[in-house]
Homo-oligomer: A and B are copies of this chain.
Amino acid sequence: MNDDKTTMQELKNKMAQFVCERDWEQYHSPKNLSMTIAIEAAELMEKFQWLGVAESRKEIACNKKEIEEELADIFSGLLSFAYFYGIDLSNAFEHKMEKNEQKYPVKEVKGKGIKAINLCRKMYAKCKN
């Protein structure tokens, strides 16, 4: 499987097959799967916990295989959630991106970055130093 040719449905199906062959659907409640995704996300963070933002880029070159596994674990939780609860992830993603495009119009935000934008909007109003 590779990203160029694999559709989301193929990935969801593969995940579901793994779960169903083991009769594990019963454990894949939304509550449990949301915990799974968060737990796996924390394992990814652990790789970068004590690194500076710049060092974290180097870390990937050095430790790619482990990082790929953590990403795969997060992705598995997402695919299982989407499969068992009838969510079209491509469609959900497309809609969310439309919302984000309106929230952060290129003209207004380009070159300023998320930090400048979000922080200025929310925070620096309250803070005079």
Chain A residues at the B interface, C-beta cutoff of 8 Å: 1-9, 11-12, 14-15, 18, 21-24, 26-27, 29-32, 34-39, 41-57, 59-64, 67-69, 71-76, 78-79, 81-82, 85, 87-97, 99-101, 104, 106, 109-111, 113-115, 118-119, 123-124, 126-127, 129
Contacts and interface: CB of A to CB of B under 8 A. Distances in A.
Given A3-B90, A8-B11, A18-B101, A50 B27 contact: yes
Task: Specify how many copies of this chain sit in the oligomer.
Answer: 4
Given A26-B113, A34-B48, A45-B35, A92 B72 contact: yes
B93 A50 contact: no
Contact of A90 (B11, B47, B48, B76): B11
Given A53-B32, A88-B2, A92-B68, A62 B129 contact: yes
Given A1-B94, A12-B3, A30 B49 contact: no
Contacts of A126: 62-63
